Amino acid sequence: EKIVRAVPAHKDIIFAPDKNLGAYLVKKIGRDMILWQGSCMVHEIFSEKKIIQLKERNPDAKVIAHPECEPQILRLADFIGSTSALLKYSKEDASRKFIVVTESGILHQMQKASPEKIFIPGPPVSTDETCACNDCPHMKKNTLEKLRDCLRDEKPEILLSEELRLKALAPMKRMLELS
């Protein structure tokens, strides 16, 4: 949000990589953007119907959702925020029960931070009750061992011309300054 707000109004924005996050920001701050049609597979599999049913069975639970979820899911949310914002909200809010609509990896951190609270994973569309469909298979490919090996061996190596590297560095630095 800070980055989008920092772009002068007369400049067009092509927003990537997530169309749902982009649409959320368009609605929140009223800035038109060209949305790249990418999305996170995990945030697109949540079932509106099942979340409504879960909320009916748990009327004391707050629905908290990541902004990469589809708009019909976000309409059900009591709070929308980044992964770190969801964790912070679940710690600070007085509610004792939360329906968490994002990648399920955050549930362990929430339970550690607030062991007295109940965290219910948002249900996917799948009819397979054994499906852990709200786990991102791509994020699971990153392991501590792979990170260690990468740092130790300095591989895989990505070669860029100095001109391209410097051009790419400028917006990265600016985004980090803004966030």
Let me know: does 78 contact 108? Beta carbons within 8 Å. no
- pLDDT above 60 for 89: yes
| Average pLDDT over every residue of 133-148 | 82
Report the percent of the chain where pLDDT is more than 70.
96
Work out the mean pLDDT of the chain and round it to a whole number: 92
The separation between CA 47 and the C-alpha centre of its own chain, rounded to angstroms, equals: 17
Nearest to 53 by CA among 110, 2, 99, 105: 99
| Average pLDDT over every residue of 1-15 | 94
- pLDDT above 80 for 11: yes
Helix, strand counts (H, E) of the chain = 8, 6
Q: Which residue has the higher pLDDT, 127 or 26?
A: 26
pLDDT of residue 139: 76
How do residues 150-175 score in pLDDT, each as one tens digit? Answer: 999 999 999 999 999 999 999 899 98
Residue written as token pair 């469909």: 133
Task: Residue count of the chain, please give it.
Answer: 179
pLDDT of residue 179: 82
pLDDT of residue 40: 85
| Average pLDDT over every residue of 53-73 | 96
Decide: pTM greater than 0.75: yes
Q: What would the DSSP string read from start to end of 40-57? A: -TGGG-B-HHHHHHHHHH
- Cα→Cα distances 28→24, 25, 155, Å: 6, 5, 41
